[in-house]
Amino acid sequence: MKRLVSWTASILILLCLASNARAQTQVKLLAPNPLTKEINAIVQGFEQKTGIKVQTTYGTGVGTRKTVQEGGALDVTLLFAPFDEALKTGNVDKKTQTVVARLRLALAVKKGVTSPDISSAAAVKSLLINAKSVATVDPAQGSVGGAAMLALDKMGITDQVKPKLKLFPGGGQVQTAVANGEIEIALGPYLSDMNNPGLNVVGALPPAASTPIDLTGWISTGAPDRKAAKQLLGYFKSKEAAPIWEEGKVFPIK
């Protein structure tokens, strides 16, 4: 009987230790703040499903890339393109590169203004060339600004639009400037960020006018628990995450 009690007690101790070790597992995540709401919701689902805790650090699209370039990649890192300089440092394992979602630039005008045609690259090109003023985020301060400039380059209208292009530090200021009538057209932020009630959000630019922006993730070369990090990275493109991305007007990877 004593042996049975002792054996049972040992099994219970081992189970408790295993349970505690699982509960104490933590993955550190670095992510861009334009998607804070969606990422928080996905992380919450991951924690509930796996018991693995996630400590999330947010930064701007530009700031997160600089963090990785300077050696600050966390266990799992999500970045907006372009990220070539960040990859050169070796802080993330290139073999783990995974696209988890896609964003598209949006175009908006002041609420009450009739929605212009943005159904094709030709229509968007004509609209921007003929606009009196256009606003976007400063590329030096936000990744959406870089995406907007790439869209102008892609359509071949950068030189024509630049003289009437006003840059703002963030997407909120872009939206406010159009909502109050200071600027005619908001080019970006991402569709997921267009939430000013004073705007008529016309919609996302077609891919022929603006290449969709990948949200890409990696596992850090120094991640202490690669298995847990791999689980988190994979969860961002799971069937559980897809409805959260879609609700936030972000395009999941299927």
| Consecutive 10-residue averages of pLDDT for the chain (254 residues) | 48 47 76 91 97 95 88 93 81 94 92 96 97 94 87 96 95 94 89 86 92 92 95 97 92 86
With both helix axes pointing from N to C terminus, report the angle between 121-130 and 143-155 in degrees, rounded to the nearest 10: 100
CA distances from 228 to 72, 76, 103, 210 (A): 19, 10, 26, 35
CATH of domain 27-101+214-252: 3.40.190.10
Per the listing, tokens 């670095």 go with 30
Residue 67 carries which side chain, given as an amino acid letter? T
Q: Which of 137, 249, 254 is nearest to 187 (CA)?
A: 137
Kindly report the number of other CB atoms within 10 A of residue 47's CB atom. 15
- How much is the pLDDT for 15? 47
Q: Facing residues of 121 across strands?
A: none
Helix (H) or strand (E) holding 32: strand 26-32
CATH class of 105-204: alpha beta
Q: What are phi and psi of 111, to 5 degrees?
A: -55, 135
CB burial of 184-222 (b: ≥16 within 10 Å; e: otherwise) equals: bbbbbbbbbbbebeebbbbebbbeebbbbbbbbbbbbee
Cα–Cα distance, 109 to 179 (Å, whole number): 7
Contact between 183 and 133 (Cβ < 8 Å): yes
The boundaries of every CATH 3.40.190.10 domain in the chain are 27-101+214-252, 105-204
CB burial of 94-106 (b: ≥16 within 10 Å; e: otherwise) equals: eebebebbbbbbb
DSSP-assigned letter for residue 92: B
CA distances from 217 to 106, 132, 179, 187, 199 (A): 23, 39, 34, 26, 32
- How much is the pLDDT for 175? 94
Joined together, the tokens standing for residue 205 give 């630019």
Per the listing, tokens 């300089």 go with 85
